[in-house]
Chains A and B, each alone.
Chain A
Amino acid sequence: MKVLVPVKRVVDYNVKVRVKSDQSGVELTGVKMSINPFDEIAVEEAVRLREAGVATEVVAVSCGSGASQETLRSALAMGADRAILVETDAELQPLAVARLLQAVAGREQPQMVICGKQAIDDDANQTGQMLAALMGWPQATFASKVAVGEGVVAVTREIDGGLETLELKLPAVVTADLRLNEPRYATLPNIMKAKKKPLEVLPAAELGVDITPRLRHVRHAEPAARKGGIKVADVAELLNKLRNEAKVI
């Protein structure tokens, strides 16, 4: 079984971003970029499926500028077999990415696509679901456990209030939640080996997909800052403040 894993290059999760003074976006120049943490979990799951003999090949795919090659190299260093970069400098929104991935999936014919549940930059949480819809495949989002059977996959999902397990007919799209696994660190020898693995660059224009943004970003703003609080000396003072000043208990 072939597994396709979409990965995204995003601002590193430890970076506190700042809105540009002209409100056109957030400041990205000189900021550390990394593979989206949820995509790292997706890669790990795919590599584990291959190590368990369930998957035969793991293909990492990313859509974006040439800089996304480094993100694909991190996926290769974790154990993906080969990579595809769908290259474009245009702004990509989730529907456009889902369409590009649809084109790649049409070519690669995977049995399963494992995505991260959301990217930590746009926080959209849409691409996996959209890809499933475009392919006409079932979906299991927010996965915390994946068990592949004969022609089916059982996925335990994190839902409000607890967990649920679904059984999907393959091919299917699964999106990874935080607790699916603990991604491995790429070792130095594997980082070196990853440089030799195949990485195909595919210009987005060649896929014949409409990637025009549907939403226009009018402006960006910093969220309202909380006004500075105070430190209280003891429990009695805290309760007094909560009862008489804030009036919340």
Chain B
Amino acid sequence: MAILVIAEHDNQSIKAATLNTVTAAGKLGGDVHMLVAGAGCSAAAEAAAKVAGVAKVLVCDAPHYETQTAENVAELVKGLAQGYSHVLAPATSAGKNMLPRVAALLDVAQISDIVAVEAPDTFVRPIYAGNALATVKSADAIKLITVRTTAFDAAGDGNAAPVEAVAAGADLGTTALVGREITKSARPELGAAKIIVSGGRGLGSGDNYHQLLEPLADKLGAALGASRAAVDAGYVPNDYQVGQTGKIVAPQLYIAIGISGAIQHLAGMKDSKVIVAINKDPEAPIFQVADYGLVGDLFQVVPELTGAV
């Protein structure tokens, strides 16, 4: 049977997380179809057709999918899911919001945030903030899965899959979008960045965060991240947060500056290839996971590092 991937998109382009989800779908065996549900979303559908490994793109273009509310999209996916063995979405805020709703409508379990596929019915997922890995086997006829994007490579492009329109589901009309405030940033997206410069409470203030970390991030072409302490203290907006309750990242290089390394933070970054910790406390738990630790005052070390890179 075929596999359905729910594309995350903004009606114009496909979000990067979808590409990692396609790779996970490819490990299940079976044709991979992608659903693009939106309004005026033909550009997104064309982009979906180019993704390597996709056998068919289903487009559902209707006004009530413009903001892709969980209620309406779940209703649509419920109808389509009957023809598939697996339905996958990225474990992003959109995927986590929508897919459990589909699962309950279909009366099946949902498997959250998988990091590996062992068999078409057996998956590995982290529990307890990443302190244990559980291997779970599903007996449901349709397997609904969200995919931890950092655990799978992104699918390439160069494909030309056929695009097929599908009929829209009902408009439930229970939810209306009032507004969105998206944080503007010229830097790479946190989830996809190769290098991340991340700051914690040790920075002392939002001004210090920006003055010290931005020049370093600019020189390295890095994204900026933060610990929960830095977000709660108001140094940066909450979408900078790396951790169990924020974003899960796995860059080539993660530089933790003034971050002690609480388990909730480690859950979000411990799969990074190389971790560097800069902290004045030699006993900070972050040094237990850091490949390279530098004990020192970040107010001296960071400008020196920025100057030397």
* A-contact bits for B167-186, CB 8 A (1 contact / 0 none): 00000101111111111000
A90 interface contact, C-beta 8 A: no
- Nearest chain B CB to A183's CB is how many angstroms away? 13
Indicate with 1 or 0, residue by residue over B265-286, a CB within 8 angstroms of chain A CB atoms. Answer: 0000010011110000010000
* Structural contact, B253 and A122, CB atoms closer than 8 A: no
Closest to A218 in B: B135
| CB closest chain-A residue, reference B301 | A235
* Residues of B118-174 whose CB lies within 8 A of A: 122, 125-140, 172, 174
Residue B264 interfacial (CB < 8 Å): yes
Check if A154 is an interface residue, CB within 8 A of chain B. yes
With an 8 A cutoff between CB atoms, is B295 at the interface? yes
B104 proximal to A (CB < 8 A):
yes
The size bracket of the interface on B is 35 or more
Classify the secondary structure of A's interface with B: mixed
Contact across chains for B178 and A229 when beta carbons are under 8 A apart: no
Q: Which residue of A lies closest to B123 (CB)?
A: A215
Residues of A within 8 A of B92 (CB): 160
Q: Which residues of A contact B276 (CB under 8 A)?
A: 238, 242
Compute how far the CA of A11 lies from the CA of B132 in the bound complex, rounded to whole angstroms.
13
Report if A138-B71 is in contact (Cβ < 8 Å); known contacts: A123-B126, A168-B175: yes
Binds A, one of B28-36, B49-57, B58-66, B239-247: B239-247
Query: Is B5 in the interface zone, CB < 8 Å from A?
Result: no
Contact mask A76-101 → B, CB, 8 Å, 1/0? 00000000000000000111001000
Bin the interface of chain A by size: 35 or more
Asked if A231 and B70 sit within 8 Å, CB to CB, the answer is no
Contact B292 A221 (CB under 8 A): no
* A107 beta carbon closer than 8 Å to chain B: no
A141 touches B97 (CB 8 A): yes
| A139 engages B220 (CB within 8 Å) | no
Asked if B104 and A229 sit within 8 Å, CB to CB, the answer is: no
Cβ–Cβ contact A218 & B253, under 8 A: no
Cβ contacts under 8 Å, B304 to chain A: 235
A231 to chain B, nearest CB (A): 5
How far is B105's CA from A131's CA once the two chains are assembled, in angstroms? 10
Q: Does B3 contact A (CB under 8 A)?
A: no
> Does A188 have its Cβ within 8 Å of any Cβ on chain B?
no
Given contacts A141-B70, A157-B93, 5 further A-B contacts (CB under 8 A): A134-B104, A160-B191, A163-B181, A165-B179, A219-B135
Identify the 4 closest CB pairs spanning chains A and B, nearest first. Answer: A214-B109, A129-B100, A130-B104, A133-B104
